Structure 1
Amino acid sequence: MPKTVISITPLPLYKDSRTLKIARSIHELGYQSLVWDTQNVRAYPISELPTLPAATKALANNTRKSTLLEFTWRTAKRILTWLGVKQMLRVIGVVVWFRTLVDLFRNARTIRRTLPPADLYYLHSLEFGIIILWRRMTANIPYVYDAHDFYIALHQQKWWQPLHILERLLIKYSAGFVTVSDGVGELYTKTFQRTPVVIPNTQYLPKRNRVTIRKLLRLKKHDFLIVSICRPVEGRAVWPIMEAMMAIDRSNLHLAFIGDGYQEHARTIQARGATSRIHFLPPLAPEMVTDFIADANLGFMPYYVVHENLRQALPNGFFQCVAAGLPVLYDPKLVEIGRICSEYMNGIEIDPLDSDNLAKLIRHLSQSVVECQRLKKNAQKAARHFNWRLETPKIKALLENAIKKSAVKQKG
């Protein structure tokens, strides 16, 4: 009977493509692969993954306590700083610190009631680490901890200290430790003195899909299309490139954003009469994106450095463009993206905050057929080297070593 591996994530799989890819790879390696997420509060086989509408509904119903907590703290801090009440800030900080700790134990209680036993847990979120550590200590169930980000850089406020302590314990007692890029791996090695296995967020190579972004937007072959797969949040400059596109008076230049959160941008673009060239599309299921964007001309990376984690990141949107064979526009301050683009010559350095230079570059590229063909050829070469199938041997070795370590400890 195959061993059971349960992947644990706080997000619906519609939003967590990494969990979905790894769970499918685990299944392909011959394990019984289950996924537990807080949207369904149950484990289910990969064959029963929710459809996109179901996942979208679950996402809409998801309450993000940590996000609300951060917003409340920022607002209170501004008010109290303005009033000059520093002592009150310390008191509120202690209260919020305690609330974070309470949330951790509440999460543990939720998962304890619904998470079945397994031969191995694959943990994609440190928030649920308490119960995983408990089962590791009491039932000797090993686990792999997959750090999608360098969380200390993301959560520097004092109230996140319980999470930092929990992450240190998760890394120490895990049977396997994984992260997403060499740069993030180096940050973890320096901080926790343990080197993770690096499994980047590469994608499956595209198949021939009848539904593509160019067909959906009814664009002609000579139309020049730039795509960006992201949400407009901190560290992502989406407005400057819109300004750049509106500054170029050419009807065959198009820009498309794939993701949610663009309602305000869409209203502004409509008011300025640019809806025929700047498009906003809803988020897609992760496995659909690469095929969908493959007939675009360029991928735009809106990321700029606001913390060390982003400097070392390799986002899904980047690898989706790479797998689709699209050249990319990127900020050279993004070290990991820059390293790949420098090696394969599949991108052009930009300042994503400079709309004037973006307009000049886009105008030039849309008229330079030879340069675009060269970039496209290099991008297709990069796609062959960054394929999710190539990560399978790492995942296989990771699982085998984790289960073997547990077996040795049980015998001991």
Structure 2
Amino acid sequence: MRLENLRQLPSVDGRAPRVALLVYNDFSVDTRVLKTAYSYAAAGAAVRVVAFGTFEGKEPGLTVLDGGIEVERLPLVELDHTLPRLGSTARQVVARARGALRRGSRRSVTAGPTAPTTSDARTEATAQTRSPQDGDLGPSAGSTTHSTPRSTPAVPAGLKARVVGLWMRMHYTVRLGSFQLRAVRSLRGWRPDLVHANDADTLLPAWLAGRSLGTPYIFDAHEIWTARVKAGSRPVARRWEAWVEKRLAPRASGVTTVSGSIVDWLHRELRLAAAPTLVRNVPVGPAPVVSDPAATGRLRELAGLGADTRVVAYCGAVTINRGIEQTLDALELLDPSTHLVLLGRGSQAYRAVLDARVAAAGLDDRVHFVGIVPSDEVPATLRDADASVIFSRPVTLNQRFSLPNKLFESIHAGLPVAASDLPDIASVVSATGAGQVFDIDDAQTTADAIAAVIADAGTYRAASAAAARTLTWQNEVDGLLRLAVAALEGPGRS
């Protein structure tokens, strides 16, 4: 990633400032954090990203990216892996204990003429005939017992669900706590001059480390933390998260976030002394339409479509509340030559739901799932679509105030845009003239907006191309670097 001509950070004690970025994920697909890390490096900092390693993802340890950015992935305590192991161990212990009891019982029968009591016989018979489904390992290998297993009372399904739910809540709490403690140790060992905390689950370690080292921190709120979608009511967790954010965000040297509406919400609800700095999650420039006007795109190639079709692009996660079902409703109202191509991925379960919906509507030959491409290739890939649909459903405040990457990626591709009439999305579409907005609850207005931007594609493509010249990460990140300079030059800093 090449970033040039960025604002430079001041030196500290005659050396490059050390900037640590905290992120509670494995840093494999978080493009905002990646762009931020490269921006600090291009501004003259030595950069280390502190993330985590997982059993099935990136391994714990220290690696170095191109450009010298260090990534330290910390190990986590994973209770969800412990529960199956505990269950297996418990079953083995019980089985061994019962085996010992059986052997002791047989020895006592052989040693003397006294027969076992009725109770003892029942116990031994039960131990030998109980099935593995009853919670132990059943008869030992080679046993000649073939009696029908006795029936045992089943654990109520509701109780089992509550136990599993409680265990998983404990798992997530311990997992986060283990990351936060190890992150504090990591920061104290590396001794950064500035900490960049991505989202509220990294605020606590940023504050704890900063308190002991005298290091300032910047809080980058990717969303409204207490409004994110989580399973269950989580009353204790929500109160704790709200308390941490309200107490520690105002102590940050600066706060940044991703949309104008979230700027206003954080300023008001967290009682910040100054409004957060808006740093929208736009792609690195220059855009393909600016750097290579002859670029043709490859979305049609991925979908196996020719030039005689009209292609509406959907870009992003294939998941709920992204308006995919509603876009399918609108597709039914469009000319049969119009196809929907989805660039992204999602769960198999949700894909099965969509496949059923597509089949029921008779759209099998007009809907195409083409997987993913590297994030920095998305605008160039979208380039040959006829329009892009940006559909967000305001189920939570975060979704209502969203300003999704795919909007800016579509503009960088030079596409006409049909987008949800939500405040921040509509503001960008209106300011750039790159497309039209639609009522998310009306399939006909959605279809009309898509048809309108395709019909006047030349006008909207020109508007997108013009906007793409200034809507670049290099321009957005300057606000963050201003905060970083102020933090590094603050009272008591050299």
Which of the five TM-score ranges fits, normalised by the shorter chain?
0.7 to 0.9
Give the match for residue 105 of structure 1.
177
Matched residues in 1 for 2:446 and 2:476: separation? 35
The alpha-carbon distance between structure 1 residues 266 and 347, as it changes in their structure 2 partners (threshold 3 A), is same
- Measured after TM superposition, the shift of residue 307 of structure 1 is 2.4
Give the match for residue 201 of structure 1.
281
Structure 2 residue matching 1:255: 3-state secondary structure: strand
Give the match for residue 22 of structure 1.
36
Q: Deviations over 1:187-224 (max 9, x none)?
A: 00111121211111111233446762133334333432
Matched residues in 2 for 1:122 and 1:307: separation? 26
Q: Deviations over 1:70-106 (max 9, x none)?
A: xxxxxxxxx79xxxxxxxx9xx999999887655433
Confirm or deny that 1:11 pairs with 2:25. Answer: yes
Give the match for residue 228 of structure 2.
154
Give the match for residue 229 of structure 1.
315
Give the match for residue 323 of structure 1.
412
Give the match for residue 305 of structure 2.
219
Tell me, yes or no, if the aligned pair for 2:435 and 2:453 is still in contact at 8 Å: no
Map 1:5-404; keep pairs closer than 5 Å: 5-39=19-53, 40=58, 41-47=60-66, 102-112=174-184, 114=186, 116-154=190-228, 158-159=235-236, 160-194=238-272, 195-204=275-284, 205-207=286-288, 208=292, 212-248=298-334, 250=336, 252-261=337-346, 263-265=351-353, 267-268=355-356, 269=358, 274-332=363-421, 334-363=422-451, 366=454, 368=455, 371-404=456-489
Tell me, yes or no, if the aligned pair for 2:436 and 2:449 is still in contact at 8 Å: no
Q: Deviations over 1:240-289 (max 9, x none)?
A: 21233245462x32211122215215532367664432111223322121
The alpha-carbon distance between structure 1 residues 97 and 364, as it changes in their structure 2 partners (threshold 3 A), is closer
Matched residues in 2 for 1:358 and 1:157: separation? 36
Matched residues in 2 for 1:356 and 1:34: separation? 50
**Whose radius of gyration is greater, 1 or 2?**
2
Matched residues in 2 for 1:62 and 1:385: separation? 44
- Measured after TM superposition, the shift of residue 238 of structure 1 is 0.5
Tell me, yes or no, if the aligned pair for 1:331 and 1:351 is still in contact at 8 Å: yes
The alpha-carbon distance between structure 1 residues 11 and 326, as it changes in their structure 2 partners (threshold 3 A), is farther
The alpha-carbon distance between structure 1 residues 104 and 361, as it changes in their structure 2 partners (threshold 3 A), is closer
Matched residues in 1 for 2:234 and 2:181: separation? 25
Tell me, yes or no, if the aligned pair for 2:204 and 2:244 is still in contact at 8 Å: yes
Q: Deviations over 1:136-190 (max 9, x none)?
A: 1111122211000012333685231111111123312212211112210100011
Matched residues in 2 for 1:158 and 1:2: separation? 44
Give the number of aligned pairs: 373
- Measured after TM superposition, the shift of residue 64 of structure 1 is 12
Tell me, yes or no, if the aligned pair for 2:416 and 2:453 is still in contact at 8 Å: no
Matched residues in 1 for 2:287 and 2:396: separation? 32
Matched residues in 2 for 1:37 and 1:282: separation? 26
Matched residues in 2 for 1:244 and 1:63: separation? 44
The alpha-carbon distance between structure 1 residues 210 and 112, as it changes in their structure 2 partners (threshold 3 A), is farther
Structure 2 residue matching 1:245: 3-state secondary structure: helix
Structure 1 residue matching 2:489: 3-state secondary structure: helix
Structure 1 residue matching 2:204: 3-state secondary structure: helix
Matched residues in 1 for 2:245 and 2:165: separation? 21
Tell me, yes or no, if the aligned pair for 1:37 and 1:43 is still in contact at 8 Å: no
Give the match for residue 85 of structure 1.
none
Matched residues in 2 for 1:242 and 1:19: separation? 33
Tell me, yes or no, if the aligned pair for 1:36 and 1:43 is still in contact at 8 Å: no
- The amino acid across from 2:257 in the alignment is T
TM-score normalized with structure 2 length: 0.67
Tell me, yes or no, if the aligned pair for 2:297 and 2:381 is still in contact at 8 Å: yes
- Measured after TM superposition, the shift of residue 388 of structure 1 is 1.2
Structure 2 residue matching 1:107: 3-state secondary structure: helix
TM-score normalized with structure 1 length: 0.79
Name structure 1 gaps, 5 residues minimum. 51-57, 66-78, 81-88
Matched residues in 2 for 1:216 and 1:125: separation? 35
Tell me, yes or no, if the aligned pair for 1:226 and 1:296 is still in contact at 8 Å: yes
When structure 1 is superposed on structure 2, of 373-382 and 347-356 the one drifting more is: 347-356
Give me the identity figure in percent: 21
Give the match for residue 409 of structure 1.
492
- Measured after TM superposition, the shift of residue 30 of structure 1 is 1.6
Matched residues in 2 for 1:62 and 1:300: separation? 41
Tell me, yes or no, if the aligned pair for 1:237 and 1:353 is still in contact at 8 Å: no
Structure 2 residue matching 1:7: 3-state secondary structure: strand
The alpha-carbon distance between structure 1 residues 290 and 62, as it changes in their structure 2 partners (threshold 3 A), is farther
The alpha-carbon distance between structure 1 residues 297 and 12, as it changes in their structure 2 partners (threshold 3 A), is farther
- Measured after TM superposition, the shift of residue 343 of structure 1 is 2.0
